[in-house]
Amino acid sequence: MLRTQFEEELLNLHNQFYEMGMLVSNAIHKSVRAYVKHDKEIAHEVIENDEAINNMEIRLEKKSFEMIALQQPVTTDLRMIITVMKASSDLERMGDHAVSIAKSTIRVKGETRIAEIEKEISDMSDYVKKMVDNVLVAYVKTDQDDARMIAQMDERVNEYYRDIYYQTIESMKAN
């Protein structure tokens, strides 16, 4: 009986984590879309929805500690619970970055921007969203090979960042 209850709680924890991941993926996508389209309304929506992400992280962490304390899971189950605790913190931080982008949208709305840089930012956002979505699928499938492949994809994000950084510097020099 207790094992069945634990398995249900573990499944619920996984489902909540996946839901949080989808919220974060959406926040990232919307924040960049708001930035590129100069859309303050979408930016405000991202900022307002951040509280839901923050609350989910708190709930996931609390439930994880509760499950560890009361159920005393071992090996695979313990690793899964700890993964949720750590990864939910990372997701929350990603949500905070989406809020920072949304706030930047509000702050610089109407100012002249450089189309090439905005395109690069948009492309990077699409790539990151794809990565986050793939991570969530790999998590659900517990596919370590996919997880490793996704980790290697991070180098492309670094390339996007470097390209955007240098394009910005060159633009500042020209103007």
103/46 Cα distance (integer angstroms): 9
The Cβ of residue 2 has, within 10 Å, a number of other Cβ atoms equal to 8
Q: Which of the two residues, 134 and 1, has the higher pLDDT score?
A: 134
Going by pLDDT thresholds of 50, 70 and 90, the confidence category of residue 1 is very low
Max mean pLDDT range (58-62, 124-128, 150-154): 58-62
Same domain, 105 and 159: no
At 109, is the pLDDT very low, low, confident or very high (cuts 50, 70, 90)?
low
Residue 73 phi/psi, 5-degree rounding, is -65, 155
Domain of 130, in residue numbers? 112-175
Is residue 29 predicted with pLDDT exceeding 90? yes
The residue among 23, 48, 45, 43 whose CA lies nearest residue 33 is 43
Same domain (yes/no): 50, 87: yes
**Among 74, 94, 111, where does a domain finish?**
111
**Co-location of 102 and 116 in the same domain:** no
- The answer to whether residues 5 and 81 belong to one domain is yes
In this structure, the answer to whether residues 80 and 96 fall within a common structural domain is: yes
- Please tell me the distance from the alpha carbon of residue 15 to that of residue 71, in angstroms, as a whole number: 19
* 162 and 106 in a common domain: no
The alpha carbon of residue 73 and the mean position of all alpha carbons in its chain are separated, in whole angstroms, by 27
Query: pLDDT per residue over 113-136, tens digit each?
Result: 788 888 999 999 999 989 998 988
pTM of the complete model: 0.86
Q: CATH code at 19?
A: 1.20.58.220
| Comparison of pLDDT for 130 and 45, the residue scoring more | 45
Token duo for residue 164: 């955007």
Closest CA to 46 of 58, 30, 33: 30
Confidence label for 141 from pLDDT (cuts 50, 70 and 90) = confident
